[in-house]
Amino acid sequence: MTDKLTLDEIAQRAGVSRTTASRVLNNRPNVRPEVRERVQQVIEETGYSPNPVARSLAIQHTHILGLVLPRRSDTVFTDPYFPVLIQGIAQACNDHEYTLGLFLLQTPEEERKLLPRIAHKGLLDGLIIQVGEIGDQLIARLLEKNVPLVVAGRPAQEIPVSYIDVDNVAGAYQAVSHLIRLGHTRIGTITGALNTTAALDRRTGYEQALREHGLPLEDALVAPGNFNESSGYQAMQQLLPHRPTAIFVASDVMVFGALRALSEAGLRVPEDMALVGYDDLPPAANAAPPLTTVHQPVLRFGEQAVEILLDILENGSVPPRRVILDTELIIRDSCGASQA
Amino acid sequence: MTDKLTLDEIAQRAGVSRTTASRVLNNRPNVRPEVRERVQQVIEETGYSPNPVARSLAIQHTHILGLVLPRRSDTVFTDPYFPVLIQGIAQACNDHEYTLGLFLLQTPEEERKLLPRIAHKGLLDGLIIQVGEIGDQLIARLLEKNVPLVVAGRPAQEIPVSYIDVDNVAGAYQAVSHLIRLGHTRIGTITGALNTTAALDRRTGYEQALREHGLPLEDALVAPGNFNESSGYQAMQQLLPHRPTAIFVASDVMVFGALRALSEAGLRVPEDMALVGYDDLPPAANAAPPLTTVHQPVLRFGEQAVEILLDILENGSVPPRRVILDTELIIRDSCGASQA
DNA sequence: TGCTGTATTGGAAGCGCTTCCAATTCCTAC
DNA sequence: GTAGGAATTGGAAGCGCTTCCAATACAGCA
């Protein structure tokens, strides 16, 4: 209601020029204390707050960051990972007084339609973009438009872009090593969608652990999943005939699917089959049995992503920043360690 | 890189005035076809796209909608409900060429800090705000600032605001009636957080069903939850000694907690205890056993929310719009109907 | 008391677009 | 060939803010 207020009016009411009013509004020096006081008075009385769009136009940035989540929407809102990521990013945006714009690119047409809006340096100061499938050209295209951006997850191509990731290889390596330490020798894995670097890296960690401990790699013990529940279920069924005694599953959601297959087969966890997952989001601790899983610091991941982006905004995008966060193996019941 | 382009330059290159250039940019009439062609040519060659901020300042709206999720963050990103809601809203925003701004108000300070940004009609054209706890004054405060808004969920107070909700009373009523029809007479309920209207309404539906079917209401059979997994677990434990044979649980997430308590107690579902949940989000179908649950059309809910908001933007906020979406009981295994 | 240097102030230009309105051009009909 | 009207064009004034820069006020010093 009192919204037609402009800085001009404030200035008039306080009996100063618009310039001076602007100065006190932005806490700039060179205003006599008494004058400053008077203007502040008026601002408070009227409940004035400056028009962000006008300000943005003048200063040439908006204080808005964009988060873009490409394709694969099935996973995007079925896996608790993304909500938590969003939360971390939103939190950090709040802390730094930025506004967060959300862009879900579900279909190719949407991507095409949204691209100009995302790529234009007018609306968004910068972008956090979740890495997509291998072969996705979105990042490359954005890069050549010169938009400040940081990628969440390791991009497939070797391009000079800033990104943040968790150490997926090491996380998987830890998990599998732990199973080996518990005495397992026939260890399978259910992979994530192999058109993502995260899934690839986790499989690499699995292989590396087996190899370094002198265990053979057996193709039949590697079942492809795609990060959702049903794929975990199917992969588990596929694995069962080959009699593994332990499985490293590339995401907790797939563990739930695996658990379902196991219970249908009348097998118990961890007695008949040890399981280690990946993610450690809220559902993991309350599962039956509670999941041993590789913890990723998703909230911090999100926070850091925006901090990197802000750094780029301030200091330019060269050289590209690279941040790899550590994971931690959380030992609960599903691996059998607690009863071993 | 080619981003310093302004409409002025386009006009110059095409040999017309900025006014005319603007006209072709916005597909307005009164431009000679050949001229229009020429300008379009230049626009394409240069890859020009107009600065959205400048345009916003001129036309006095931004084409940005805000989604604000107040407090109770524990539930917000632990319950799959919200991601799906966000998805529906984002989808609809895309369809209508709006950008979505996300505001998570986790702490009171954040709320205070963000309020001006949210309430100022400069940045956001309108707001979709998730209803908060009963007693929350956020909506009222926003309302008096005259921000166009639509509430997701029924507000507690009787205020003249537009909102969209699902028919929680009817949904719960359906669920409980179904259990009664299956022959149950000792039917308990695990409620949601009773400082929300959704939880209250669902409890009302439960009571109504019992009453109308001549069954007694028994306080001991009503256990308070708060929509998260652990509360379902605890509530179930609390209910067990009173020997219900069926439970209506106010959200699927709490069903998972209940399931955990039941399995620890050595009870089987649905043989020893019939369960009906609420939500029917992806995890429900893959649960063990698959959940009978009240389906809410969350995606459509989100879409409609933005459509209502756009309607308000276009035609004013009086009278307040009220939209109540229907729910549907999805019968799977957890209620025992399939084996009865 | 007068002079130089610093702190305060406000005028005006500019951010990149839209849009009102007056000026010009083009048709058509007479 | 000309008057009248419609279609086309561009000048200029905003939208609400920031900021450069020149102008003014004030301080300290000799």
Query: Which domains does chain A show, CATH number per domain?
Result: 2-50 (1.10.260.40), 64-165+299-326 (3.40.50.2300), 168-296 (3.40.50.2300)
Q: Using an 8 Å CB-CB cutoff, list chain A residues near B56.
A: 53
Statement: residue A168 has pLDDT above 60? yes
The alpha-carbon gap from A59 to the nearest alpha carbon of chain B, in Å, equals: 11
Distance, CA of A319 to C1' of D18, in Å: 31
- CB neighbours (10 Å) of residue A140? 12
In this complex, the answer to whether residue A83 has its CB under 7 A from any atom of chain D, a nucleic strand, is no
Contact check, Cβ <8 Å, B123/A73: no
Residue A23 approaches strand D within 7 Å at CB: yes
* A116 compared with B307, residue with greater pLDDT: B307
Grouping H, G, I as helix, E, B as strand and the rest as coil, residue A77 is: coil
CA A34 to C1' C7 (Å) is 14
Q: Is B113 on the interface with A (CB under 8 A)?
A: yes
Chain A residues with CB-CB distance to B122 below 8 A:
51-54
Task: Extract the runs of DSSP E, i.e. beta strands, from chain B.
Answer: 64-70, 99-105, 126-130, 149-152, 162-166, 187-191, 222-224, 246-249, 274-279, 292-295, 322-325, 328-330
The pLDDT, as a whole number, for residue B340 is: 46
Phi first, then psi: give them for residue A126, nearest 5 degrees: -170, 175
Nearest CA in chain B to A122: B51
Q: Is A3 an 8 Å CB contact of chain B?
A: yes
The predicted-structure confidence for A49-91, as pLDDT tens digits, reads as follows: 999 999 999 999 999 999 999 876 566 678 899 999 999 999 9
Q: What is the mean pLDDT of residues B223-235?
A: 96
Mean pLDDT of chain B, nearest integer: 94
pLDDT at B1: 39
pLDDT of B79 higher than 90: no
Nearest residue to nucleotide D26 when comparing alpha carbons to its C1'? A32
CA diameter of chain B: 85
pLDDT-derived band at B99, boundaries 50, 70, 90: very high
* Tokens representing residue A110 in the block: 């949407």
Interface test with A, best of B103, B123, B125 (most A CBs within 10 A): B123
- Rounded average pLDDT over A120-148: 93
**Mean pLDDT value of segment A129-133:** 93
Q: Which two tokens stand for residue A9?
A: 């009016």
Task: Determine contact: A283 vs chain B, CB below 8 A.
Answer: yes
Yes or no, beta carbons of A90 and B73 under 8 Å apart: no
Chain A contact for B233 (CB, 8 A cutoff): yes
Query: Of the candidates A220, A183, A201, A195, which has an alpha carbon nearest to the alpha carbon of residue A278?
Result: A201
Of A147-156, B78-87, B239-248, the range with the lowest mean pLDDT is B78-87
Check pLDDT > 50 for residue A182: yes
pLDDT value of residue A74: 62
